[in-house]
Amino acid sequence: ITHSICTLEFEDHRPLYDWVVRECEMEHIPQQIEFARLNLTNTIMSKRFLKQLVDEGVVDGWDDPRMPTIAGLRRRGYTPESIRNFCREIGVAKATSTVDSQMLEHFVRDDLSAKCPRVMGVIRPIKIVITNYPEDKVEMLEVNYNPNIPEMGKRLVPFSRELYIEEEDFMENPPKKYFRLFPGNEVRLMEAYFIKCNEVIKDENGKVIEIRCTYDPETKSGTGFTGRKVKGTIHWVSAKHAVPAEMRLYEPLILDENDGEEKSFMDRINPNSMKIVNGFVEPALKDAKPQDKFQFMRVGYFNVDIKYTTNDKLVFNRIVSLKSSFKMK
């Protein structure tokens, strides 16, 4: 043993440590080095308080994806490489400080961007019907998993008359500079065609339940069409072929930037730290295995949950969002 690495509270014990190893007449005397504990914003790091979260049922165990444990980070989908890169960046210091948790997310996002297949998943679906597309027709579109990594290969994505798009990609009365779908506007469906919104169907409560559109067959992606341009591009999933999936969307467990290590930290638990929604993914994901990671295009990075995924049910944990306002200094 060459070095004994410990946290700052053992600094006062160093004389005793040095005396013991000296009196043992060791040929090579180890050196004790102290360092400050890592603190992250919006995160509980104390084992005692983490145990309280588990015991009181705030989280569903030590491997809950909101927990800063190795098991929790693994289940969330954080990669070993991203954690190591984060640790190298922050280094080791004697001064106690708090690191922005978004820095860790930055390294996770950076690592996943270079290795994840890019697929389409709709978290909060709303149906669109392409009224001038044949009812019995299905096109199989050949799409790259990651255009930046050709060796990942391609998959076939079905396109049909009825699709699901993201609820937030449609507005009936949009503000200025909203370029996604709204009545009378035209957008591109990723890897497919231009569509134009012509009619909105609502239920008895006034909620939009269906959007009726027309498509322009001349505008298919990859054909070199240059007749006109649209400003908005949205993702989609064929309704007939969509695979149901549960999506777990995570936010910080602690509401403020204090580490919460005081008696009142339970009062600052974020009641919306996990939201469960039911969406759809493209059929290429129907055989996804636990710990498989994907980028849902325009949405974020997701990991197949190891605890609740079964042969009949896909559960995805959102690892991190696609973009962040965090900037490396």
Label residue 177 left, alpha or beta by phi (over 0 means left) and psi (-120 to 50 means alpha).
left
Q: Where are the domains of the chain?
A: 121-238
- The Cα 62–Cα 156 span in angstroms is 39
More confident residue, 80 or 323: 80
What digits encode the pLDDT tens for the residues 44-83? 998 999 999 999 999 999 999 999 999 999 999 999 999 9
List the one residue out of 246, 253, 248 whose CA is nearest residue 69.
253
Instruction: Give me the numbers of helices (H) and strands (E) for the chain, helices first please.
Output: 5, 20
CATH of domain 121-238: 2.40.240.10
Strand 293-296 and strand 300-304: the pairing is antiparallel
% pLDDT > 70, the chain: 96
Among 64-73, 136-145, 258-267, the range scoring the smallest mean pLDDT is 258-267
3-state secondary structure of 280: strand
3-state secondary structure of 31: strand
Average pLDDT over every residue of 1-16: 89
Which pLDDT value is given to residue 325?
A: 66
Average pLDDT over every residue of 240-262: 83
Which pLDDT value is given to residue 257?
A: 55
pTM: 0.90
Q: What would the two tokens of residue 34 be? A: 């102290």
Q: What would the two tokens of residue 139 be? A: 């096109």
Which pLDDT value is given to residue 268?
A: 87
Which pLDDT value is given to residue 328?
A: 64
Which pLDDT value is given to residue 329?
A: 63
% pLDDT > 90, the chain: 79
List the one residue out of 196, 178, 187, 170 whose CA is nearest residue 230.
187
Contacts 24+ apart (CB under 8 A), 149-156: 149/114, 149/115, 152/117, 155/284, 156/284
Average pLDDT over every residue of 26-30: 85
What digits encode the pLDDT tens for the residues 169-206? 999 999 999 999 999 999 999 999 999 999 999 999 99
